[in-house]
């Protein structure tokens, strides 16, 4: 049974409003059309993930403050970012399972007049699409089949691992994004090392390794002749789209692989125009891809 009137608190995080409004714009468009009601998260803060390397307790307290805000609203959280999902979901589950941890974090939260009770759930966009909207309803909303294009997907680490926190009943994280892509009619190609990391989290201390990782991914995607790479995380997207020209220059290689947020791909299939989905914001312009879609007989 699918949830006929899904309602979520949208947790934007920091990177999407700062660098990738195209993801937010396209996600809001498709969710509204699919009947998912979004309520704005009041005075939220960073999910806490960027602080985890330097202070796990503070990072967890920052995450828990967001969870408490959702508890006050009595609503579950929807995130667009893998980093936010991974961290909020992990902290939420740790708080529910580990009494000692919960007591410690609640002592911190008590200082700001809050208490974590364990009443909400955290989901990523692709979970809401699969579990609340459902494949059938998405299929019904596809007005223009994208059967003329071939793409590849990159789900991103924090939706896949640690599996202890990311496994969900009835869903296979490794194939979910593929299935969602195929609902648009597009073919989703397999390639080598699909589950491998984009490298973005360490780019602040070392560029060489993440750029080599991203280069390898783009090579794998190019080798199977994918016309685009589809992502659902701002960090992965930045690595493959915004940084693609840098990677091309550094390694003297040409990729020209457009990288679309999944809601942009689904949005095109649902009949939204490229302008409505902020596709022109992409660094690598998907000119040939759009030509294939709109000039197909």
Out of 129, 151, 197, 247, which residue is the one contacting another protein (CB under 8 A)?
197
Please give the residues from 58 up to 87 whose contact with another protein meets the rule CB under 8 A. Answer: 58, 61-62, 65
Nearer to another protein, 118 or 195 (CB): 195
Residue 292: how many other CB atoms lie within 10 Å: 16
Hey, which residues between 220 and 279 contact another protein (CB under 8 A)?
Answer: 278
Cβ proximity of 235 and 159 under 8 Å: no
- Give the residue with the Cβ less far from another protein, 49 or 262: 49
Question: Does 12 contact another protein by CB under 8 A?
Answer: yes
State both tokens at 241: 């789209």
- 43 belongs to the binding site for another protein (CB under 8 A): yes
Smallest gap from residue 29 Cβ to another protein (A): 9
Q: Could you say which of 9, 36, 51, 266 contacts another protein (CB under 8 A)?
A: 51
Rounded to whole angstroms, the Cα distance separating 234 from 83 reads 9
For another protein, the closer CB: 180 or 278: 278
CB of 45 to another protein, least distance (A): 4
Query: Nearest CA to 57 among 15, 114, 103?
Result: 103
| Crossing angle (nearest 10°) for helices 82-97 and 99-110 | 110
183's CB contacts (< 8 A; 6+ apart) are: 135, 138, 139, 142, 266, 269
DSSP structure class, residue 277: T
Q: Please give the full DSSP string across 193-217, using - where no structure is assigned.
A: TTT----GGGTTT-SHHHHHHHHHH
Q: Which stretch binds another protein (CB under 8 A): 43-51, 122-130, 139-147, 171-179?
A: 43-51
Our CB check for another protein shows the closer of 46 and 181 to be: 46
Q: Write out the binding residues for another protein, residues 115-174 only, by CB under 8 A.
A: 157-158, 160-164
Q: How far apart are CA 73 and CA 42, in angstroms?
A: 9
Question: Which part of the chain contacts another protein (CB under 8 A), choosing from 104-112, 129-137, 147-155, 261-269?
Answer: 104-112
Alpha helices in the chain (DSSP H): 15-19, 21-33, 56-73, 82-97, 99-110, 125-127, 135-141, 157-160, 163-166, 173-182, 208-223, 234-237, 244-251, 262-269, 287-295
Q: Is residue 185 close enough to count as binding another protein by CB under 8 A?
A: no
Q: Does 54 bind another protein (CB under 8 A)?
A: yes
The binding site for another protein (CB under 8 A) comprises 12, 14-15, 17-18, 21, 24-25, 28, 40-46, 50-58, 61-62, 65, 107-108, 111-112, 157-158, 160-164, 195-197, 199-202, 204-206, 208-210, 212-213, 278
């Amino acid at each position: 049974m699918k949830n006929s009137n899904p309602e979520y608190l949208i947790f934007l995080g920091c990177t999407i409003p700062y660098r990738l409004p195209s993801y937010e714009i396209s996600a809001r468009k498709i969710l509204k059309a699919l009947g998912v009601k979004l309520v704005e998260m009041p005075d939220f803060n960073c999910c806490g993930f960027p602080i985890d390397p330097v202070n796990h307790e503070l990072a967890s307290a920052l995450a828990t403050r967001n969870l408490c805000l959702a508890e006050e609203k009595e609503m579950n959280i929807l995130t667009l970012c893998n980093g936010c999902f991974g961290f909020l979901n992990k902290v939420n589950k740790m708080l529910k399972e580990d009494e000692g941890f919960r007591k410690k974090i609640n002592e911190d939260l008590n200082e700001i007049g809050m208490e974590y009770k364990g009443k909400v759930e955290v989901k990523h966009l692709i979970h809401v699409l699969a579990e609340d909207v459902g494949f059938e309803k998405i299929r019904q909303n596809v007005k223009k089949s994208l059967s003329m294009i071939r793409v590849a997907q990159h789900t991103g680490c924090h939706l896949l691992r640690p599996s202890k926190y990311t496994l969900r009943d009835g869903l296979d994280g490794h194939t979910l994004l593929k299935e969602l892509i195929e609902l648009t009619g597009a073919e989703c190609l397999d390639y080598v090392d699909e589950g491998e990391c984009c490298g973005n989290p360490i780019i602040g201390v070392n560029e060489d390794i993440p750029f080599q990782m991203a280069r390898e991914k783009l090579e794998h995607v190019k080798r199977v002749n994918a016309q685009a790479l589809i992502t659902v995380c701002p960090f992965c997207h930045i690595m493959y789209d915004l940084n693609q020209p840098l990677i091309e220059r550094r390694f003297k290689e040409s990729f020209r692989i457009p990288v679309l947020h999944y809601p942009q791909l689904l949005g095109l299939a649902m009949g939204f125009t490229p302008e409505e989905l902020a596709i022109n914001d992409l660094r690598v312009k998907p000119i040939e891809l759009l030509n294939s879609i709109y000039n197909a007989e």
